[in-house]
Amino acid sequence: MRDKKRLGRGLEALIPDLSPEKENDIKEISLDKIKPNPYQPRINFDDEKLRELADSIKEHGVVQAIVVSPADGEFILVAGERRYRAAQLVGLPTIPAVVRKYNKRAMLEIALIENLQREDLTPIEEGEAYRRLIDEFNLTQEELSLRIGKSRSAIANTIRLLSLPEVIKDALCRGDITAGQARPLLGLPDNETREKAATQIITRGMTAREVENMVADTVKRKRLPGFKVLPEADPHLKETQIQLQRRLGTKVKMIKGKQGGSLEIYFYSDEDLVRLLMILLPDGIS
């Protein structure tokens, strides 16, 4: 289970109004005056779980206030989307809420962390939320990493899943395959090959390690003659590859040929490329 304390500052720091001493600030607000959070990263809501929550609310009421932000005489939902939707199902006229003013960035960040703490987001929803934070608010992956308490590489790997074909992304959203099974497919040469591999994953119930081996075999068959993957028996070059990866903060592959070879350095976004160029060319491009 994911340790909630690792998720950046957490909701309690982002929304100090959730602390018990602020309970006197809670107001009953008409559900008709609340608009859904336009920055909510979660697209799909489990109907069965919503009905279960609605049954609980019907019996015990809403035990934890939602958080809203005022906007043009109405309110935008900041945190508590499931409680808000369940209260609508029950037919409640009002819901307890803490009212605080938040900007767009805070709304997206709070909604993202709230869902991450419950592990409610699919890998695709998570990747879209990361990309939106980076694109809309000019964050680097390192800055985002510090804010939400996840490693830069984990963020980059999740965003990379967005480049998979729609068929595979749909399978990820349904839970037919996991992020660990899907990620190796990015190493395949084209979407047609990736989709065929995804079908095999589902029908054969392959593990993530089996997928990695399958991808490696496929890539090996398509590799140019005279080249081979760096052999495990060459500890010096293997250690050099590891040191390069640590230095650059990204995947590095060394391919040795009969004479010479090649060095591949991976980047996963324009921002990641700029970061690598600053490391490799500290004096700039002449």
Each residue's pLDDT, cut to its tens digit, for the chain (286 residues) gives 334 333 444 444 444 444 433 555 788 999 999 998 877 766 667 778 788 888 989 888 888 888 899 988 899 988 888 888 899 999 999 999 988 888 877 787 777 777 666 656 789 988 888 888 788 778 788 888 887 777 888 888 898 899 899 999 999 988 899 999 999 898 887 888 899 999 999 999 999 889 988 888 877 776 544 444 444 445 667 777 777 877 777 788 887 777 778 888 888 777 778 777 777 876 655 5
Catalytic residue among 81, 114, 126, 128: 81
Whether the CB-CB separation of 116 and 7 falls below 8 Å is answered with yes
HSE-up of 124 (CA within 13 Å, CB side)?
19
What CATH class does 4-148 carry? alpha beta
Separation CA 14–CA 16 (nearest Å): 6
Whether the CB-CB separation of 83 and 58 falls below 8 Å is answered with no
Contacts of 32 (CB under 8 A, 6+ apart): none
Residue 81 is a catalytic residue = yes
Q: Which among 116, 158, 109 is positioned nearest to 136, based on CA atoms?
A: 109
Whether the CB-CB separation of 140 and 134 falls below 8 Å is answered with yes
Residues of each domain in the chain carrying CATH 3.90.1530.30: 4-148
Residue type, position 87, single letter: A
Separation CA 10–CA 148 (nearest Å): 8
Name the packing angle between helices 123-136 and 166-174 (round to 10°).
120
The pTM score is 0.55
